[in-house]
Amino acid sequence: MTIPLARLLQRVPGDPAIVQPLMALALGIALYLIAAALARFLTPRIARRMPQVSAAMDIHLRPTLRHMIASLLIGIALLAWPAGPVAHLLLGAALAFVTALLVSHIMDALAMPRWAVAPLALLLFVTILSSSSGGLAPVGAMLDGIGVDLGKRRITLLGIVTIAATCIALFAAVRLANRVVSRSIDRTQGFDATQKLLAQKLAAIAVIVAAFFVGIDLLGIDLTAFAVFSGALGLAVGFGLQKTFGNLIAGIILLMDRSIKPGDVIVVGDSFGWVNKIGVRAVSVITRDGKEHLIPNENLMTQEVENWSYSDRNVRVRISVGVSFDSDLRLAQQLMLDAALESPRVLRNPKPNVWLTGFGDSRVEHDILVWISDPEGGVGNVKSDVLNRLWDLFRAHGITIPYPQRVIHDDRAAAPAPAESDGQGA
C-alpha cells in the first residue's frame, strides 16, 4: 500500500518543531530551482510558438515564467502538506514573495510606473502571507473598520484599497492586451501599414471599453445611481471634450480613407516633413531639422494639405540657373543635364530636362527639372548637389555666371563746350 506524502514527511525522525521548518525552507528552495530550470527550458519554445506574447514581455518573459511556475509549485505544496504553523508560515512567505516578484516583472514589462508597482506587490505579499497564516479575515475587518460616513454611504480603507488594486490590475491588463493585440496585427500579412494602424487603434478602444465595464462589474458600482447626472455630465463632456473627440474621429477617418499615411511627405502651412505616426489627438510630422510638429487631426481634415507621396512618390524639383549672354547656350544646357544625371538621387526615368525660361537683365534664365523618389530625404540637398557639380563643369568649360551689371551714360562728356567770351560788348 502506497504511503501518502504527508504521512511520509511526518515520519521523519527528530523534533517536528525544528525539522519541519527546515524541511519547509529546503522544499521552497528546491521548488524555486525546479521552476528556474523549467522556465529556462520553456522560454525559447514559447518565444517561437507565441512571438506576440514574447515581444510584449520582452526580457521579462523568463523571470515571469520562473516566478509563475514557482508560485504554482509552492501553492500545491502548501495545500498538500499539513505541516505545523511555523513551516506553514515559511511556505506562505515563500509563496507571497514569488507572487509579488511575479507581479513586479509583469508590471515592469508593461512599463507601469513604480509608484503603482510597489504598493500592488506589497499588498499581494501581505494578503497572501496573512491568508496562509489564517490572519486575512482580521486584517480585512480592521481595514473595513477604518472609514468615514458620507450621508448614507460609508467609505472604508478596505474599499479604497480594493478600488486602487482593481484599477491598477485593470490598467495592467489593458496594457498587456493592447501590446499582444498590436503585435498580432503588426504581424498580419494581409494588411498594409495604414490598415494595421487603424485596426490597432480600434482594438485599443474596444479593450478600454471592455475593461471599463469589467471594472464596473468587479467593483459592484450601480450605474443607475448616476442616471440623474447623466444628462448634465454628457452635456459637460460634450462641450469640454468636443475638440478631443473631433480629433479622434478625424484621425480614424484619415486612416480609413488613407489620404495621409505614416511615411508620407506632406506640407501643412509652414510645416514640411514626413508623417511619423497618426495619434489619437494629432499627427506627428518630423521636419528635416529634426523638429517634430504635432498637428491636430482636425487641421488635416479642414485645411489644404500637400501630400507629395499620396498616389506617386516621384517629386519634381526645379533648380534655377542663369548664364551670361556671351556663353554657348547649347553647351551650357548640356552641362546642366550632365550635372543632373551625375547626382545620385536624381532619377533616370523620368529623365531630367532643361528649359530656357527667359532673358533677364544680365543673364539667360534656365530651369533644371529633375525627379526624385525619396522626398523624405529632403529637397534642398538635391539642389545643392546639382549646383555644386554644375559649378565645376562651368569652370572647366568656360561658362560664366554674370554679375548684375548697370551701364551709366554721362551726357556731359558728349555735349559741346560753351564759347569763351572776349570781354568786349556788341
**Is the Cβ–Cβ distance between 265 and 309 less than 8 Å?**
yes
Question: What are the Cα distances from residue 101, in Å, to 31, 74, 108?
Answer: 15, 14, 10
Domain locations along the chain:
16-203, 251-307, 315-397
C-alpha cell at 401: 555666371
Q: Does domain 251-307 have CATH number 2.30.30.60?
A: yes
Mean pLDDT of 228-243: 62
* Burial state string for 382-400 with b = 16 or more CB within 10 A and e = fewer than 16: bbebbeebbeebbeeeebe
Does the pLDDT at position 1 exceed 50? no
Question: What does the pLDDT look like over 171-229, one tens digit per residue?
Answer: 777 877 777 777 777 777 766 666 677 777 778 888 888 888 787 777 776 666 555 55
Q: How far apart are CA 318 and CA 371, in angstroms?
A: 9
pLDDT recorded at residue 3? 44
- The residue assigned the cell 498587456 is 176
User: What pLDDT is attached to residue 236?
Assistant: 62
pLDDT reading at 83 higher than 50:
yes
pLDDT digits (tens, 9 = 90+) for 240-285: 666 777 777 777 777 777 777 777 888 887 777 888 887 777 888 8
CA-CA distance, 51 to 43, in Å (whole number)?
Answer: 11
| Mean pLDDT of the residues in the chain | 74
Q: What secondary structure letter does DSSP report for 283?
A: E
Residue in the block written with cell 528552495: 29
Amino acid identity at 406: R
Is the whole model's pTM more than 0.85, yes or no?
no
* pLDDT winner (highest mean) among 12-16, 28-32, 43-47: 28-32
Q: What is the predicted pLDDT for the residue at 391?
A: 92
Residue 285: C-alpha distances to residues 128, 245, 279, 306 (Å):
49, 21, 11, 13
**Rg for the chain (alpha carbons), in Å?**
39
Range with the poorest average pLDDT among 23-32, 87-96, 140-149, 310-319: 140-149
- The architecture that CATH gives domain 315-397 is 2-Layer Sandwich (3.30)
More confidently predicted of 106 and 296: 296
Question: How many helical (H) and strand (E) elements, i.e. helices and strands, does the chain have?
Answer: 15, 10
Distance CA(310)–CA(363), nearest Å, equals 38
Q: How far apart are CA 418 and CA 345, in angstroms?
A: 69
The half-sphere exposure of 253 on its side-chain side, counting CA atoms within 13 A, is: 12
Rounded Cα distance between 291 and 289, Å, is 5
Q: Report the distance separating Cα 149 and Cα 152, nearest Å.
A: 7
**Residues 124, 338: Cα–Cα separation, whole Å:** 74
